[in-house]
Each structure stands twice: as C-alpha cells, then as structure tokens.
Amino acid sequence: MADSPPLTFSQAVRGIAEFIEVAIHTILYVRQIYPADLFIRRKKYDTPVFQSRHPALNDYISGAVKAIGEQLLTGNVEKVVVVIKDKEEVGLERFIFSIDNMIQVEAFNKDTSVENAISSAALGQYFRGFLVKLNMVESQLGQMYLGDDVSFSISIELKADNPPGTKDKNPPPWIPAYTQHTTSGASENSEMHLIRAVNTGILDLSLAVQESDVKLQREREALRRGKPGIATAPKPPPPRSEDALGKDGEQLAVSNPDGSHIDKPTNRNRPSVSFVEPVEVSMKE
C-alpha cells in the first residue's frame, strides 16, 4: 500500500462514484427497502456487500451514479442524498454524502498523480470502514416497519450558481426536485448521525444519516401507542409551488439518462417497475 502511487483527480472521482453506487445498494439492503431475497451477496473493498439483482432498479442506480460522476468531474457537487420516504413522498431518512473539493485541477492535469493524496489501495480501505459502519446503522436508527409503503430517491445538490454540466450531446432535462427531500428542506428538529469521513487529499468525503423530524415524531407516537416502528400519518396536502421549486426555483432535478422515469419495484413480493420518479438532482442555494 505504501508503494502505491497517489491518486489522480480522475481516480478520486471514479473511486468516490463507485463507492456511492455500492453504498446505495447497501442502504437499500440494510434499511429493508426491498426484501432480502432481492439482493445477492458480493465482495467489495475486502468486505461482504449486498447488491440488488433487479435489472430496472440497477439501471436506475447506475444512471444516477453516472450523473453524479459527471458532476464530480466538474467540481460541481456539494452533496448526494439518498432519501428514504413513505408512500406520501414524505422524507424519513436522508443518507448524505458530502463532498468538498480540496484542490482545483485543470482539465489537462486530471490524470496526473496529486502530491500528498492517498493511494487507491488506501482509499479502498477507507471505503471498507464506511461499509462496516453502514451495515451497523440499524443499531442507531432502528427498523421502520413500513412494509410496502417505503421507497427512495437519489438527489444531487450542486454548488450555488453553477449550472449542471454534461458532455452528452443530448443531456436529460432538468426538472424541479421536492424541497422536503433535500438537505435545505430538513427541519432543525431532525437528528444527524455521522457514519464516516475520509480526506483523500483531493476530495473530502463524509457520510451521515439524518432522521427527519417527521420520522422522529411518528416514532414517539408509535411508542405511546405501544407499537414499535413508525406510525402512519394522514395524507399531507399537496405541496405549494414554492415547495416543489425550492427557494427562488433553485431546486433542480434530472430525469433518468435513458429518458424514462424509473422508480423502485413497488411490490416487495414480486418486484415490478413503476414509471413514476426520475433520478433527482437539486441545486442548493
């Protein structure tokens, strides 16, 4: 490991994007968004992981990660958020990948090793630590007991005033994201738990999970009723226009790269495809 060359900017981006993809599958498994038999056991970063084997779900995730990787190359990403939500689109948990560019690298220099950066081997060991902690997150968060009523979405929060960039000749359209799913829509009564952080010498990456105030309130109600998990809630009113667009309309989203709007399999016993939700991308103020 000590003899391995330091990372290049491009390697750091590819490594982080790849890890985010592995982590998304892990989140869906450990939070029981799908039944365990939808996943297959694999090995990554010298540790066991679980990967979805549902083709449409995998396409949705890989499409989102492709968009994330493109934005990472531009230095435009502030956060990637995986939102666990109920059937009424209310966010319950946000798994937040925060990214901070430590250095600026010119396009012609992105494949040159960066002095004082860690090596690819060292980065893999850090990611192993992330996954070990992520697999233990249920001890902090508990189970949700929502059954078929739980789903998820993926969002990217971009840096202020920076429009999303892409090399695609026909880029997917950018559409509004639901503010409540973004970190800017989180209540001050939500609770944050840091999972792990790493400084690569090029990009800083940290992973945290945030329990929304809605989730915490429902858990308290469920405990008062003597039932574990999260209590159900009445259907909320439709969002106001400013909720859908965000402050000054800065909340943006991108649809799936293939043009379809693929959501998760909605039936936990017999996976299916719901053409409802796009891969979301938001621009934070």
Q: Which pLDDT does position 173 carry in this prediction?
A: 53
Point out the least confidently predicted range of 41-55, 136-150, 204-218, 261-275.
261-275
Point out the least confidently predicted range of 136-140, 179-183, 196-200.
179-183
pLDDT for residue 109 is more than 90: no
Q: Which pLDDT does position 88 carry in this prediction?
A: 85
**What is the residue extent of each domain of the chain?**
9-283
pLDDT confidence of 151, banded at 50, 70, 90?
confident
| Sheet-wide strand order for 203-211 | 191-199, 203-211, 91-101, 77-85, 151-158, 282-283
Q: Which two tokens stand for residue 70?
A: 């493109």
Q: Which two tokens stand for residue 215?
A: 């989730």
pLDDT for residue 198 is more than 50: yes
Whose tokens are 């796009």? That residue is: 278
Average pLDDT over residues 116-139: 91
Q: What digits encode the pLDDT tens for the residues 16-53?
A: 999 999 999 999 999 988 888 899 999 999 999 999 99
% residues pLDDT > 70 (the chain): 70
Question: Which residues does 151 contact at the CB level (< 8 Å), separation at least 6?
Answer: 33, 84, 85, 86, 87, 263, 264, 266, 277
CATH of domain 9-283: 3.30.900.10
pTM of the model: 0.78
Whose tokens are 């979805």? That residue is: 52
Q: Which two tokens stand for residue 167?
A: 């090399």
Q: Which pLDDT does position 20 carry in this prediction?
A: 96
pLDDT confidence of 284, banded at 50, 70, 90?
very low
